[in-house]
Amino acid sequence: MVRVLNINQEVYNGTAAWEYPYKGEHARFRITRALAYHSDKGINTHWAMREHVDGPLIGLIAVYEPPEEQGTVYLSYWISPEHSGKGHTSRAAAFVKDEIAIKGMGAKVFIASAFTWNMASRRILEKLRMESVEST
């Protein structure tokens, strides 16, 4: 996770909660929070993206339901630049949205965001049939 997010700053842009470069302590915090959610709710929220079962990590996809926003699930994902454009993120995001967030977590609101200049990420959100909303 740290390697993927530190390949270049473009992969990392958009994650305002952490500073660049992405540090091991950030990964430990995210993993700890995910394990706590899994222990409490019985639902996994973070997945490694790999081209093959035993292959190296090429990306990460995750969902998060803030305790103060029950029913609202946020999607985040990153993929290593050398693996982008191959459909990995689109397939993973569709599965996570439909099977995990909506069916498993009961999401009523599903949120993901992309910078306007990040056309690849915007196409993923369009494939998920997400409504575009301008931020204020």
72-90 pLDDT per residue, tens:
999 988 888 888 899 999 9
1-15 pLDDT per residue, tens:
566 566 656 555 544
Q: 55: part of which helix (H) or strand (E)? A: none
Measured in residues, the chain has a length of 136
Range of the structural domain that residue 38 is part of: 2-127
The enclosing domain of 94 has a CATH number of 3.40.630.30
39-74 pLDDT per residue, tens:
998 888 988 899 988 998 888 899 999 889 999 999
- If one counts every other C-beta atom within 10 angstroms of the C-beta of residue 71, the result is 11
Give the count of domains, the chain: 1
Whether residue 28 contacts residue 22, with contact meaning beta carbons closer than 8 Å, is answered with no
Look at residue 132 and tell me if it is in a domain.
no
Look at residue 135 and tell me if it is in a domain.
no
Look at residue 33 and tell me if it is in a domain.
yes
Prior bond of 21 cis (ω within 30°)? yes
Q: Which residue, chain included where needed, has tokens 């998920």?
A: 128
CA–CA separation, 85 vs 44, rounded Å?
A: 26
Look at residue 134 and tell me if it is in a domain.
no
